[in-house]
Amino acid sequence: MSEPRTIQYVRKSSPTLEGAGVHLKRAFADDLSRRLDPFLLLDDFHSNDPMDYVAGFPWHPHRGIETVTYMINGDVEHGDSMGNRGTISSGDVQWMTAGGGIIHQEMPQRYGGFFQGFQLWVNLPSKSKMMNPRYRGVTQKDVKTTTPSKGVDIKVVAGKIGKVEGPVGDLVVDADYVDINLKPNAKWEHPLDRGHTALVYVFEGAGSLGDAQKGDVDAETLVVFGSGDSVVSKAGKKGMRFLLVSGRPIGEPIAWRGPIVMNTWDEIEIAFQEYWGGTFISRGRPSGTL
């Protein structure tokens, strides 16, 4: 018999200005990253006003992490120091492994409606922090969808729901990333590895999660789970849509400054010295970078 996870922590995402002036909601970052190992940061950028997001995220470096960009509505043009160029459109996913060093930019485009996307940062273990960078782009048609029960629609980006496996495989860190849409009053219980970190970010509607004694949660709310081997959810009368992210903790020291996450402060200093010295990546910096 499964033991549903209880809720350990609940909070609303907080308004944050990032990049060249993008208005977003930050679900969590450094203050919770130790508790949410291997996850470091989750940002929710959404607006009906293009002026809130078109300034974008110009050229900047990353080392020691993976960034996962998932678009709900809208387009983001991207480019990187490996020569990749393209557009992340509605329903698409970009899973980028910075490894030993990458420089990239992400520039949201004007959208005629409600623009929304998410970016998750996943830490890398020490043995993989300096691996070769890699980029995986997944289009909407490749993201698998499943309906495990009535009123429950799930998009599987990474991991497995029943027999449906997400298109992003060969992950450095064992992790699941799924988008769950519950119709009004629908229920769903998902088994999870007892040793994995688990969190939910609600971005549409409202409903109950885990320990019902905590009450319903609504949009722009982060829920962090404690021990147990499943996550229980039930939508309210207007339905509920949320991201469920879980993964195996790394359990290593974290040294973090801006876009660089390593294990020691000496490694952080080396990374920034290399960046400003032009040796951060073998090809040097693209023109127009800081």
DSSP the chain: ---BPPEEEEEE-EEEEETTTEEEEEEE-HHHHTTTTTEEEEEEEEES-GGGTTT-EEEEEEBSEEEEEEEEES-EEEEETTS-EEEE-TT-EEEEE-TT-EEEEEEE---SS-EEEEEEEEE--GGGTTSPPEEEEE-GGGSEEEEEETTEEEEEEESEETTEE-S--S-SS-EEEEEEEEPTT-EEEEE--TTSEEEEEEEEEEEEESSGGG--EESSEEEEE-SSSEEEEEEEEEEEEEEEEEE-------EEETTEEESSHHHHHHHHHHHHHT-SSTT-PPTT--
**Cα separation values, 229 from 163, 191, 193, 195, 232, Å:** 19, 6, 6, 8, 10
Residue 213 has a pLDDT of 58
Q: Examine residue 193 and state whether it is found in any structural domain, yes or no.
A: yes
Q: Examine residue 194 and state whether it is found in any structural domain, yes or no.
A: yes
Give the pLDDT confidence of 170-179 residue by residue, as tens digits: 899 999 999 9
Q: Examine residue 75 and state whether it is found in any structural domain, yes or no.
A: yes
Q: Examine residue 289 and state whether it is found in any structural domain, yes or no.
A: no
Average of pLDDT values for 101-110?
A: 96
Q: Examine residue 92 and state whether it is found in any structural domain, yes or no.
A: yes
Average of pLDDT values for 12-16?
A: 96
Residue 212 has a pLDDT of 61
CATH code, domain carrying 52: 2.60.120.10
Give the pLDDT confidence of 185-195 residue by residue, as tens digits: 999 999 999 99
pLDDT of 215 over the 90 cut: no
Residue 214 has a pLDDT of 63
Average of pLDDT values for 251-259?
A: 95
Average of pLDDT values for 5-30?
A: 94
Q: Round to the nearest angstrom and report the end-to-end CA distance of the chain.
A: 55
Residue 1 has a pLDDT of 63
Q: Examine residue 27 and state whether it is found in any structural domain, yes or no.
A: yes
Residue 166 has a pLDDT of 93
Domain count, the chain: 1
Q: What is the mean pLDDT of the chain?
A: 92
- Taking every pair of Cα atoms in the chain, the longest distance, rounded to a whole number of angstroms, is 58
Residue 100 has a pLDDT of 96
pLDDT of 140 over the 50 cut: yes
Average of pLDDT values for 114-138?
A: 95
Domain that holds residue 176: 7-277
pLDDT of 78 over the 90 cut: yes
pLDDT of 284 over the 80 cut: no
Which residue from 202, 262, 226, 239 is spatially nearest to 62, judged by alpha carbons? 262
Q: How confident is the model at residue 169 (pLDDT cuts 50, 70, 90)?
A: confident
Q: Examine residue 160 and state whether it is found in any structural domain, yes or no.
A: yes
> What does residue 212 show for φ and ψ, rounded to 5 degrees?
-60, -20
Query: How big is the CA angle at 133 (ends 30 and 198), to the nearest 5 degrees?
Result: 40
Greater model confidence, 232 or 2:
232
Q: Examine residue 24 and state whether it is found in any structural domain, yes or no.
A: yes
Residue pair 239/181 in contact (Cβ under 8 Å)? The answer is yes
> What does residue 57 show for φ and ψ, rounded to 5 degrees?
-125, 85
pLDDT over 90, % of the chain: 86
